Amino acid sequence: MAKIVIVDDDVDCAKNTAAVLNAKGHETTLVHSMDTAIQTIIEKRPDLLILDVMFPDNPVAGFDLAREVRLHSEIKNLPILLLSGVNQEFPMGFSDSDIDTDWMPVQHFIEKPFKNSDFLKSVAKLLAAPRKP
């Protein structure tokens, strides 16, 4: 199936997300620090990136990483799913309507906690979507 990189500082959440994906036959790689995220993404060349927003040293690190991914020619067209509880911490109402190419260059946003069935539908949709060359 697909190769998926999960970038999330919450180790338990990342492991649980990986378990849901692994049960569907996907191969997952977990990254818990922004320090190694880009290098790992470039090395692994995943089919999908799942990204948390908030990290201890930067509450918008996921947004920053999404923008950084778009700067690297090898991975610039990588589909990105934001999977975050940012709205619980900062009730700003982030949603798919905030997605744009400059500030939030991702394909989909899902709020934690999530229903596994909805999450897996989103993953399947992103993996099936045609990629830009």
Asked whether 89 and 59 are in contact (CB, 8 A), the reply is: yes
Paired tokens of 33:
């620090």
Please, what's the b/e burial string for 68-98 (b: 16 or more CB within 10 A of its CB; e: otherwise)?
ebbeeeebeebbbbbbbbbeeeeeeebeeee
- Those residues with Cβ within 8 angstroms of residue 69's Cβ, 6 or more apart along the chain or in another chain: 38, 41, 49, 75, 76, 78, 80, 105
Check residue 16 and give its pLDDT: 96
CA dihedral defined by 38, 79, 86, 25, rounded to 10 degrees? -90
List pLDDT tens digits, range 26-66: 999 999 999 999 999 999 999 999 999 888 888 889 989 99
CATH topology of domain 3-128: Rossmann fold (3.40.50)
- Element of type H or E holding 50: strand 48-51
DSSP lists the bridge partners of residue 55 as 58
Look up residue 66 and give its amino acid. A
Are β-strands 48-51 and 27-31 bridged in parallel, bridged antiparallel, or unpaired? Answer: unpaired
pTM above 0.75, yes or no: yes
Work out the average pLDDT over 14-33: 97
List pLDDT tens digits, range 81-113: 998 766 455 555 565 556 567 767 889 888 888
